[in-house]
Amino acid sequence: MLSKILAGRRFQQKLSMMPNRSTDILFQLIKSLEKAEKRHFKLYIKRSSGNEDLKIVRLFDAVDKLNDYDEKVILKKLEGVTKPQLANLKTHLYKQIMASLRLLKSTDSMDLQLNEQFDYAHILYKKGLFMQSLRIIDRAKEIARANQKFNFLPQLIALEKRIEGLHITRHIQYRADTLANEANEISRHIDMVARLSNLALKLFSWFVQHGHARNEEDEKDIRQFMKESLPADVWKLKGFYERLYLYQSYTWYAFIRQDFLQYYRYTQKWVDLFTEQPLMIRVETGHYIKAIHNLLNAHFDLRNHRQFEKTLKLLEKVAQTDRVKDHDNFRIQAFIYISTARINQHFMQGTFKEGLSLIPGIEKELENYDLFLDSHRILVLNYKFAMLYFGSGDYNTCIDYLQKIINDKTNLRYDLQCYARLVHLMAHYELGNDMLMESLTKSVYRFMAKMKNLTVVEEAMFKFLRQSITLSTRQLKPEFEKFLHTIKHLEKNRFETRSFAYLDIISWVEGKVYGKPMGTIIHEKYMQSKRRK
């Protein structure tokens, strides 16, 4: 079942992941460049051509000044260039920008450095300088091993075998067996890493599309998939990448099943792996940032307030390193995760109104990063914005953000689609829109039932809302007390915790029973937990 789910709707998902701006690849590339990168490109072209007034430079400047890609405007600015010529010119410019970036970024990327060493070795081999080529291969292999870049070794070994096999060198007496054994060892290692990384990716993909397991059937499905996919003796593996993808697999496995304690254990192992091998923080910065993000989520789910604060400080410290600040992907990734964590902190503390001050700054940055962001991250942030407004009592603005999720056509996160509709219903309830409640309740119930996303908590919620429409204010309080009694004992039920993770329904109902805002109820619980610790 899992493989069928993952295979479906791929075309639609690819479309949904496209950036919001023009999909012209040259436009996207130029708009992604920073000032230093643009300056380096101009210098690179000047050095390589000796002509500052090249057509591609004029094309570069024309595209750079556009807010949205418009070919008609570009053709007007490039006098004498026809539409067919423009296509060729764009292709040439794209290649030149990439060549410029490769030169600029090579010192900052281990992958680019290793590729460069392979290129040098290959050039020397073609020149007939076999011993020089072999020396570079040996050096590149040392660098690859030291940085756990085993995926680069096969092409290096293949070139070394070609040299040893076609030409007589002083190594031939002892290198044949060594190279054969080395190639076999690397092949086994790469195969294991591929199997574990595939497993981690498939589990993560399942979560992105569906969210948490909805019922026993989903649980059984995931357990079976995990059992069939895990290689034998996997816990005996000691390599960095084997353990990285193993911990990731168990992280998603636990998170999907809402086993938040196991989720915490494996996110901590994921972070500890980098602590044990600090060199890999630079090599796999993206995985390190994501590890801290998931550890933050685990502390949030378990309401480990102090550990949450400690881990957030760690992520903020990592975000200030040059490695992250100078890298587009890492900088954006850290921004999204820190923003999410700061909002979650307000959720834990019940300080919804204070949390509203975060939204304008986050939205401004989202506009700047519009070219790079995927739909899934936007969906999650819009839901969190909506919940801040819901907890603050601004139900109209809450509805505005929820509509962005409800109207989304990406087929991602069915769980968010369901809970956006449920919170949308509750916001109308709070606004006293009685005329809408009956039809809206039926519509949301049908949607969640169709998605197989109804738990006992939601069933009780719909029942309460249907009954409360006709009740007076005096009659409501006893009904809220009954509703609270119904759902309170479900708080520890694993298949019901999903409801409480997306919306703290218990605190909302307690607020109605005790005549306090939802935020006040949550803040009181937060202060009690701090005193206990």
What is 377-533's CATH topology? 1.25.40
Residue carrying the six token digits 């012209």:
24
**Inter-residue contact 5 to 209 (CB < 8 Å):** yes
Rounded (5°) CA angle 490-491-496: 65
The one-digit pLDDT tens for each residue of the chain (533 residues) are 444 444 443 333 433 333 444 678 999 899 889 888 999 999 888 887 655 457 888 899 999 999 888 888 998 888 888 888 899 999 999 999 999 998 888 777 888 899 999 999 999 988 889 889 999 999 999 999 988 888 899 999 999 888 877 765 555 556 777 888 888 888 888 899 999 999 999 998 888 777 777 777 888 889 999 999 998 888 888 899 999 999 999 999 999 988 999 999 999 999 999 999 999 999 899 999 999 999 999 999 998 999 999 999 999 999 999 999 988 889 999 999 999 999 999 999 999 999 999 999 999 999 888 777 778 788 889 999 999 999 999 999 999 999 999 988 776 677 788 889 999 999 999 998 888 888 898 999 898 888 776 778 888 888 888 888 777 778 888 889 988 988 887 766 665 565 666 788 889 999 999 999 999 999 999 998 877 65
Say how far apart CA 363 and CA 381 lie, in whole Å.
Answer: 9
Distance CA 234, CA 4 (A): 26
pTM to 2 decimals? 0.79
Of 467, 469, 482, 470, nearest in space to 512 by CA? 482
Domain boundaries, the chain: 20-107, 109-170, 377-533
Query: What contacts 224, CB < 8 A, 6 or more positions away?
Result: none
Phi-psi region of 416 (alpha: psi -120 to 50; beta: other; left: phi over 0): alpha
Say which amino acid occupies 369.
Y
